[in-house]
Amino acid sequence: MCGRMAITLPHDAMAQMFDAAPANDLPEVPNYNVCPTVQVATVTADGGARRYRPMRWGCIPHWYKKPNGGPLLINARAETIAEKPAFKSACRARRCIIPAAGFYEWTRLEDGTKLPWYIQRSDAAPMAFAAIWQDWGEVGATAAIVTTAANAAMAEIHHRIPVILEPSDWGLWLGEEGKGAATLMQATGEDTLQFHRVDKAVNSNRATGPELIDPLDV
C-alpha cells in the first residue's frame, strides 16, 4: 500500500512537466510527510486540456453521508478496482495522476517494531502515481492511489506497491489516448526504484522537515 509520501517539488515545475494549467489553491510545498486526508496536487485531463489541481487524499464514495462515514479509502487495489462499487465508475471515467518525490513504507519486526523506508526513483525523476478521483459534497474532489502486487525489489519491504506511470503512459492513463489504461496497472520495473532506511521519527504523522528522508546509518 501507500500510506505516506513526500511532495517536495515546486508546483510551477510540476505544472510545466505535465503541461497542465495550475489552480490557485494548491497545497503548500515542500511537505516531507504527506498523510491521508490532506490536500495533494493532482493532474487531470478534460476536453483536451490538463489541469493541475488539489484533491483530498482519501476517496469518499458518493453514498457516504459524511466524510468519515466509512473506511478511509486512500488506496485502490488494481486487481479489484473495476468491480469495487467505490472505485469502478472512477476507474472508467475519473483517472488522475499524483506527482510525488517519493513515498514511505514500513517493515514490521516480530516484536511489532515498525522500520520505515523511503522509496524514490533511481533516476531521481518525480514519481507519477496512478490514481482515481471522486467528487464529494463540500469536501470537493477526493483521490485514491492505485496499488498492485509488489515487484521483487519492493517485496523485500512490502507486498504492495503504488502503480508508477512513465511519461509515455500519462496520456493513456488520463484518458487522452482512448481505452487500454488497465494494462498500465502493474508493478514498475525492478530497476526503477531505490530505497533506504530512514529515522523512526516519520512514524509520527506530526513529524516534519527534510531530515525525514535522510538515509539512516544502520
Half-sphere exposure (CA, 13 Å, Cβ side) for 154?
Answer: 30
State the CB neighbour count (10 A cutoff) for residue 130. 26
CA atoms of 40 and 55, how far apart (whole Å) = 6
CA atoms of 126 and 168, how far apart (whole Å) = 14
Candidate list 35, 105, 156, 166, residue with the active-site label: 105
2: annotated active-site residue: yes
Candidate list 2, 59, 91, 96, residue with the active-site label: 2
First CA to last CA distance, the chain: 25
Closest-CA residue to 166 (of 144, 186, 150, 138):
186
Q: Please write down the HEC assignment for all residues of 147-158.
A: EEECCHHHHCCC
Show which residues are catalytic.
2, 105
